[in-house]
Structure 1
Amino acid sequence: MEFTAKKNNNASCDLTISFNASEVEVAYKKAYENASSKVKIPGFRPGKAPLNMLEKVLGDSVIDDAANIMLNNAMADLFDKLEHKPIRIPQFQVESFDRKTGAKAKTTYDTKPEITLPKLKKIKIQPKEIKIQDSDLQKELEGMQKNMARNSLKEDGDSVEATDLLEMNYKFKEEGKEYPEASQTGKYQMGAPQNPPGFDSELLGLKANEEKEFNFRYPDSFPQSPESAGKVFTYNIKVTALYKVTYPEINDDFASEVDGSANLQELKDKTKKQLADIFENALKKKAIDEAYAEIIKESKFVIPESLVKEETDGVFQNFMQEFGLPATSIAEYAKKLGKEEAEVRESFAKAAEKRIQTYLLKHKIGEEHKIAISDEEMEAGYEKEAATQGIPAESLKKEVQKQRAETFYRDKFLFDKIDEFVYSEVEKKSPKSVSTEEAEKLLSGKE
């Protein structure tokens, strides 16, 4: 057997293998042996007929099996000799296969992706630091206050006031349509920020068991229910119960009831720290993502097209599962959207390519800078992950072993360590101070 391998510039390799006649003959004999148990020859039990008799009966009918045997054995022998190794089993094109003259087969197979990194210290990012204001603290305290609301049933004859909680039966229909047969039941908090502007005023003054029908036009812009924006609906509402909602005063007693704080100032200090920690961690992750985005821009990637295609299909299926959509192909999904398959595939391919690039980037950084995870760091990683999930570390490790997910978690903890290394290496401009409102926009991608 002889071979030639030529590396291409697109993460692929051209491979040609030549075989002599004796190697072809060996492959034929192995194919006859494989077929012996399936061939019925008079006077012999299956698998017991002489090889020369099998050869007479089967002739060249086993040529495909013989070619596969020869090529599989060849790749097993060649794998360690190939400088650029295949990332999946190559599919060969057999150009000739003759018992007298030998055989020749060719393939172009995908090799490992290639990446060239820039100097990390040349990458520049501007971290953001959170500025917690008094108004942010007040908003958090008011949220706690609402969670501790007390509802007291109002007496018969009392009417709806601006901060009451209502239980009601109701029906509604769009203008020009009929009411549904069955009414619905629900609760409605007067004065809630998500309520449609002007809707509360229709309910003010109603009494328990009192019924009212009215028309209501939604504002032209109503993000809470975009499908209702600008439309007129007719409502039929019957109040079945009224509750007066009272909130505890935000003071030292309130702080003690929330979490046992000694006084209100202690609760504020703890709340401020918790809020700052949440935003600082999220903003740091955002900064690390920005660092990787800059590193990707300055890196050179050579990725096999087949790898991008596989990942594109994976990204698409994850998208369908995330939104609870029925499993289908990209082609069928594009058809339902009324778009070309190429256009839809391209949108998912961009996300797939970025995912591959980030994965390769982290591995390459870890490799070049000799970053690894020790057994102690694995244990610490499990402890941290278990705390996040609210379960004992031992329970998490047992589940990981059961699911055979050790590699996933080792990569996760390794990537966390690489993230910290990248953040420490890149050049960071003076941090920009941002409010919680600005931070929320940054983190949601709206800015």
Structure 2
Amino acid sequence: MEFTAKKNNNASCDLTITFNAAEVEVAYKKAYERAKEKVKIPGFRPGKAPLDMVEKVLGDSVIDDAANVMLNQAMADLFDKLEHKPIRIPQFQVESFDRKTGAKAKATYDTKPEVILPKLKKIKIQPKEIKITDADIQKELEGMQKNLARNSLKEEGDKIEATDLLEINYKFKEDGKDFPDAYQTGKFQMGATQNPPGFEDNLLGMKMNEEKEFNFRYPDSFPQAPESAGKTLVYIVKVTAIYKVTYPDINDDFASEVDGSANLQELKDKTKKQLEEIFVSALKKKAIDEAYTDIIKESKFIIPESLIKEETEGVFHNFIHEFGLPHTTLPDYAKRLGKEEAEVRESFGKAAEKRIQTYLLKHKIGEEYKITISDEEWEEGYEKEAGTQGILTESLKKEVQKQKAETFYRDKFLFDKIDEFVYGEVDKKSPKSVSIEEAEKLLSGKE
């Protein structure tokens, strides 16, 4: 057997293998041995007929099996000799296969992706540091205050006021269409920030058991219910209960009721610390993500198309699962959207490529900078993860073994360490101080 392997510039390799006649004959013999257990020859039990008789009966009909036997053995023999290893079994095209003259087969197979890193210290980012104000703490306390609200049922003749909690039966339709037969039931908090502007005006002054029909036009932009934005809907609302909502005063007694704090100042200090911890961690992760985005831009990647295609399908199915959509294929999903498959596939393909690039990038950084996970760090990673999930460390380990997810968690703990290394290596400008509102916009991608 002889071979030539030519590396291409797209993470693939052209492989040509030639075999002499003797090697082809050996492959035929092995194919006859395999077929011998199944072939029926008069006068012999299955598998007991002489090999020369099996060969006489089957002739060249086992050519496909012989070729597969020969190529599989060839790849097993060649694997360690190939400079550029295949990442999956090559699919060969057999150009010739003759017992007298030998055989020739060719394949183009995908090789391991390649990454060339930039100098990490050339990557510039500007970290953000959170600025917690007294107003931020007060807002958090008011949220806690709402959680401790007390509801008292109003009398039948009492009217709805601006801060009441309602129980209602309701149904609605688009203007010009029919109402559904059945009412829906629910609770409605007057004065809630998520309520559409002006909607409550139609309810103010109503009494228990009163029913009212009214038209309401939603704002042209209404993120809480984008399907209703700009539409005029007709509502029928019946009030079945009205509750007066009262809130405790924000004082030392309130602090004790919330979490046992000795006084209000202690609760404020705890609240500030919690806000700082949450936003410091989130903003640091955001800065690390921004660093990776720039590193990816400055890196060179050679990734087999087949990997991106496979990951595209994975990203698509994760999307379907995450949003609880019915199982479907990407082409069918594109039809439902009324879009061309190529357009939808490209959208998921970009996310898939970014995912692969990030994964390869982190492994390459770990390799080049010799970042590894020690046994102690492996154990610490499990303990931290178990704490995050609210379970015992041993329970997490057992579940990981059961799910055979050791590789996933080893990568996770390794990548956490690599993230910290990258954050320490890149060039960081003086931190920019941001408010909670600014931080939330940054973290949501709205700024």
Paired letter, 1:115: V
Paired letter, 2:442: L
Q: Which residue of 1 aligns with 2:43?
A: 43
Q: Which residue of 2 aligns with 1:147?
A: 147
Q: 1:101 to 1:216 in 2, by over 3 A?
A: closer
Aligned-residue offset at 1:418: 0.5
Query: Separation in 1 of the partners of 2:82 and 2:270?
Result: 61
Question: Is 2:140 the counterpart of 1:135?
Answer: no
Query: Separation in 1 of the partners of 2:77 and 2:14?
Result: 17
Q: 1:292 to 1:218 in 2, by over 3 A?
A: closer
Q: 1:236 to 1:6 in 2, by over 3 A?
A: closer
State how 1:71-220 maps to structure 2 within 5 Å.
71-220=71-220
Q: Which moved more, 1:331-340 or 1:96-105?
A: 331-340
Q: 1:304 to 1:219 in 2, by over 3 A?
A: closer
Q: Which residue of 1 aligns with 2:286?
A: 286
Report how many aligned residue pairs link the two structures: 447
Query: Separation in 1 of the partners of 2:265 and 2:331?
Result: 60
Query: Separation in 2 of the partners of 1:356 and 1:380?
Result: 27
Task: Provide structure 2 residue ranges, at least 5 long, that are not aligned to the other structure.
Answer: none
1:400-438 CA-to-partner distances (Å, cap 9, x unmatched) read: 111111111011000000000110111101011111111
Q: Which moved more, 1:110-119 or 1:175-184?
A: 175-184
Paired letter, 1:178: D
Q: 1:211 to 1:327 in 2, by over 3 A?
A: closer
Query: Separation in 1 of the partners of 2:120 and 2:221?
Result: 46
Q: Which residue of 1 aligns with 2:229?
A: 229
Q: 1:216 to 1:109 in 2, by over 3 A?
A: closer
SS in 2 for 1:350: helix
Query: Separation in 2 of the partners of 1:349 and 1:173?
Result: 39
Q: 1:389 to 1:61 in 2, by over 3 A?
A: same
Query: Separation in 1 of the partners of 2:441 and 2:215?
Result: 36
State how 1:12-91 maps to structure 2 within 5 Å.
12-91=12-91
1:363-413 CA-to-partner distances (Å, cap 9, x unmatched) read: 011111111111111111111111111111111111111111111101100
Query: Separation in 2 of the partners of 1:102 and 1:227?
Result: 68
State how 1:410-425 maps to structure 2 within 5 Å.
410-425=410-425
Say what the alpha-carbon RMSD is for the aligned residues: 1.4
Task: Provide structure 1 residue ranges, at least 5 long, that are not aligned to the other structure.
Answer: none
SS in 1 for 2:37: helix
Paired letter, 2:382: Y
Aligned-residue offset at 1:54: 0.8
Q: Which runs of structure 1 show a deviation greater than 6 angstroms over 4 or more consecutive aligned residues?
A: none
Q: Which residue of 1 aligns with 2:374?
A: 374
Query: Separation in 2 of the partners of 1:36 and 1:258?
Result: 80
Q: Which residue of 2 aligns with 1:409?
A: 409
Aligned-residue offset at 1:331: 2.2
TM-score, normalised to structure 2, is: 0.97
SS in 1 for 2:166: strand
Q: 1:146 to 1:233 in 2, by over 3 A?
A: same
1:203-225 CA-to-partner distances (Å, cap 9, x unmatched) read: 22222223333333333433322
1:49-96 CA-to-partner distances (Å, cap 9, x unmatched) read: 111111110000000000000010011011111111100000111111
Q: Equivalent pairs: percent with the same residue?
A: 84
SS in 2 for 1:313: helix
Aligned-residue offset at 1:328: 2.6
Q: 1:306 to 1:218 in 2, by over 3 A?
A: closer
Aligned-residue offset at 1:146: 0.3
Q: Which moved more, 1:34-43 or 1:150-159?
A: 150-159
Aligned-residue offset at 1:343: 1.9
Query: Separation in 1 of the partners of 2:10 and 2:174?
Result: 59
SS in 2 for 1:100: coil
Q: 1:323 to 1:35 in 2, by over 3 A?
A: same
Paired letter, 2:294: E
Q: 1:425 to 1:220 in 2, by over 3 A?
A: closer
Aligned-residue offset at 1:108: 1.1
Query: Separation in 1 of the partners of 2:231 and 2:95?
Result: 70
TM-score, normalised to structure 1, is: 0.97
Query: Separation in 2 of the partners of 1:379 and 1:256?
Result: 38
Aligned-residue offset at 1:31: 0.3
State how 1:354-365 maps to structure 2 within 5 Å.
354-365=354-365
Q: 1:441 to 1:2 in 2, by over 3 A?
A: same
Paired letter, 1:404: K
Query: Separation in 2 of the partners of 1:176 and 1:47?
Result: 79
Q: Which moved more, 1:199-208 or 1:121-130?
A: 199-208
Query: Separation in 1 of the partners of 2:219 and 2:370?
Result: 59
Q: Which residue of 2 aligns with 1:353?
A: 353
1:189-235 CA-to-partner distances (Å, cap 9, x unmatched) read: 11112222222222222222233333333334333223333433333
Paired letter, 1:105: A
Paired letter, 2:100: K
Q: Which residue of 1 aligns with 2:265?
A: 265
Q: Which residue of 2 aligns with 1:312?
A: 312
1:103-144 CA-to-partner distances (Å, cap 9, x unmatched) read: 111111111011111111111111111111111111111100
Aligned-residue offset at 1:255: 0.7
Q: 1:229 to 1:108 in 2, by over 3 A?
A: closer
